[in-house]
């Protein structure tokens, strides 16, 4: 099976798994809010983000090892793969211990982050440590999952994770209904997450029976840690960009407002996770090509991916802009609706997150970690300055404006360096393409938003469905009208047709 076929398989299974995960998530989230209330929901969102930032201890290690797995997997060097995975296992055990230690220290200061919520300090510290235990123990087995991704077999993880995720959801629902207790809910989360990762680990062992404990040579360890130093800073920037919003909202605005935004972020997360499914399906193939392919082949793949992600980002962002308010009104009630200006900046951030994925991936698989580090430092500084300054005066809008500025600066710089270092040519054409997609998105937001503003049936779910159909129809129709003669449109159309024909043949056989 070639790179393209493997990518399509990974993406198809990933999307199917994401649909299941999304349905399960919204069911459990609705029950969670109903059973435990707004304050617990706000605390849950805040602590989830704080703990995810603590996982900075892992950032860089995983990315560096996955990068180093591309070539051994491409040539099937089983000894080198075993050495890297043994090293990975030992490092992750250290990471689990470091996270527990960091969590215990941060736990002391947790009450400082909480504003306008009525919980005792001892209760908040206990809840926070349960979050820390959950993420720490997950590292004991989850390191093997990266091997599936690097080997272009991420569809297996998608399948097992989705299947076991349904089981987890059933446990959560039972626990919430029987106990209505947040602590018991978090304990159940720890146990089921640990069991899920252990089971997936066993399945990976069966698929890669050659994995044995082998010591990675000192020179290879040094090379990995050299990369880690640069990747770490780059990944920290990503965390600052995407995983500090709740903390800033809690400190600068109100912890209760974290709960309101949490419903928006839950929907945004669906789009982001769907994008990550696609990215995980494509990146190993991209890494394989960039490791051994010529310049023109690499540039051709980057351009194809950029068009695909561009159309996908416009579709997702426009649908989010027109459909999120009626959906939240139906889901949890209209009292959680945020200001329209906040919705606009959230939409732009979602678009930026998706559309820049190909150039971010190209930067990573090309191994330009030093340049990525420097770009990330610049983006992090800008993000913090804009988010804090504007957040203090304008509230939530200013915080998310800082996120958008980070995407803008990092994308421009990464495009510049990829075209200068990898392709040895000007980046102006690529940057103009991204600008064109942004203008196209703005026009669609204005058009679809204006049409959907007249949709008021009095039934939120009906408004949501009508807005969804109108928006999807307009976006898809205009994309076909504008691009039906382009080589990229024809390329993706042929891929879909080939995949469907292949599935039909399998059914007949």
Cα torsion angle, 240, 244, 248, 251, sign:
negative
The pLDDT-based confidence of 9 (bands split at 50, 70, 90) is: low
The pLDDT of residue 176: 86
The pLDDT of residue 121: 87
The pLDDT of residue 482: 92
What tens digit of pLDDT does each residue of 112-163 get? 877 777 788 888 899 889 988 888 887 777 777 777 766 666 666 667 777 7
Mean pLDDT of 178-191: 89
The pLDDT of residue 465: 93
The pLDDT-based confidence of 434 (bands split at 50, 70, 90) is: very high
**With 80 as the cut, is the pLDDT of residue 237 above it?**
no
The pLDDT of residue 3: 52
Mean pLDDT of 323-341: 88
Tokens 């919430």 identify what position?
176
Share of the chain above pLDDT 90, in %: 17
**How would DSSP label each residue in 272-321?**
HHHHHHHHHHHHHHHHHHHHH--HHHHHHHHHHHHHHHHHHHHHHHHHHH
What tens digit of pLDDT does each residue of 419-429 get? 888 788 888 89
Structural domain spans, the chain = 1-244, 293-509
Q: Is 427 helix (H, G, I), strand (E, B) or coil?
A: coil
Question: Looking at per-residue confidence, does 161 or 432 come out higher?
Answer: 432
Mean pLDDT of 425-437: 91
**With 80 as the cut, is the pLDDT of residue 16 above it?**
no
The pLDDT-based confidence of 439 (bands split at 50, 70, 90) is: very high
**With 60 as the cut, is the pLDDT of residue 57 above it?**
no
Mean pLDDT rounded to a whole number for the chain: 80
CA distances from 384 to 235, 247, 278, 317, 462 (A): 15, 12, 29, 24, 40
**With 60 as the cut, is the pLDDT of residue 61 above it?**
yes
The pLDDT of residue 386: 82
What tens digit of pLDDT does each residue of 359-404 get? 888 777 777 766 776 787 777 778 778 888 887 788 888 888 888 8
* 245: Cα separation from own chain's centroid: 15
Distance (Å, whole) CA 71 – CA 287: 9
The pLDDT-based confidence of 444 (bands split at 50, 70, 90) is: very high
Q: C-alpha angle with apex 295: 289 to 301, nearest 5 degrees?
A: 55
Tokens 């930026």 identify what position?
352
**With 80 as the cut, is the pLDDT of residue 8 above it?**
no
| H-type alpha helices, 114-254 | 121-142, 145-150, 154-179, 182-207, 218-242, 245-252
The pLDDT of residue 327: 92
């Amino acid at each position: 099976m070639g790179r393209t076929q493997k990518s399509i398989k990974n993406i198809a299974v990933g999307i199917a798994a994401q649909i299941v995960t999304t349905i399960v998530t919204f069911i459990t989230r609705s029950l969670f809010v109903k059973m435990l209330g707004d304050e617990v929901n706000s605390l849950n969102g805040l602590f989830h983000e704080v703990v995810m930032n603590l996982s900075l201890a892992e950032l860089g290690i995983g990315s560096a090892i996955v990068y180093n797995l591309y070539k051994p997997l491409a040539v099937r060097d089983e000894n080198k793969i075993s050495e890297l995975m043994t090293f990975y296992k030992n490092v992750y055990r250290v990471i689990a211990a470091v996270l527990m230690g960091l969590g215990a220290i941060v736990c002391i200061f947790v009450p400082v982050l909480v504003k306008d919520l009525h919980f005792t300090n001892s209760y908040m510290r206990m809840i926070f440590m349960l979050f820390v235990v959950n993420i720490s123990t997950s590292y004991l087995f989850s390191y093997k999952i990266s091997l599936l991704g690097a080997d272009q077999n991420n569809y297996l993880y998608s399948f097992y994770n989705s299947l076991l995720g349904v089981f987890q959801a059933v446990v959560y629902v039972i626990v919430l209904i029987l106990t209505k207790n947040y602590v018991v809910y978090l304990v159940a989360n720890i146990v089921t997450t640990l069991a899920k990762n252990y089971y997936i680990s066993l399945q990976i062992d069966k698929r890669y029976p050659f994995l044995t404990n082998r010591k990675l040579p000192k020179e290879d360890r040094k090379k990995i840690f050299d990369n880690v130093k640069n990747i770490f800073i780059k990944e920290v920037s990503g965390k600052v960009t995407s995983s500090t919003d709740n903390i800033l909202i809690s400190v600068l605005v109100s912890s209760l407002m974290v709960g309101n935004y949490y419903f928006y972020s839950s929907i945004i997360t669906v789009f982001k996770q769907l994008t990550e499914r696609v990215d995980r399906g494509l990146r190993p193939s991209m890494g394989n090509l960039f490791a051994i392919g010529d310049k023109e082949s690499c540039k051709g793949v980057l351009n194809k991916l950029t068009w695909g992600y561009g159309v996908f980002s416009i579709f997702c962002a426009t649908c989010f802009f027109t459909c999120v308010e009626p959906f939240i009104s139906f889901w949890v009630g209209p009292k959680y609706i945020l200001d329209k200006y906040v919705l606009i900046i959230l939409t732009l951030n979602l678009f930026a997150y998706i559309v820049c994925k190909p150039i971010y991936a190209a930067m990573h698989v090309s191994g330009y970690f030093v340049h990525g580090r420097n770009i990330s430092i610049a983006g992090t500084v800008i993000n913090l300055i804009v988010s804090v300054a504007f957040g203090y005066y304008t509230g939530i809008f200013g915080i998310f404006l800082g996120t958008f500025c980070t995407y803008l600066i990092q994308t421009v710089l990464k495009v510049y360096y990829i075209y200068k270092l990898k392709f040895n040519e000007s980046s102006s054409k690529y940057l103009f393409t991204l600008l064109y997609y942004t203008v196209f998105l703005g026009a669609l937001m204005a058009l679809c938003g204006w049409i959907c503003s007249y949709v008021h049936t009095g039934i939120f779910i009906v408004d949501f469905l009508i807005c969804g159909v109108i928006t999807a129809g307009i976006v898809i129709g205009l994309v076909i009208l504008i691009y039906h003669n382009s080589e990229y449109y024809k390329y993706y159309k042929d891929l879909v047709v080939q995949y469907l024909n292949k599935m039909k043949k399998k059914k007949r056989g």
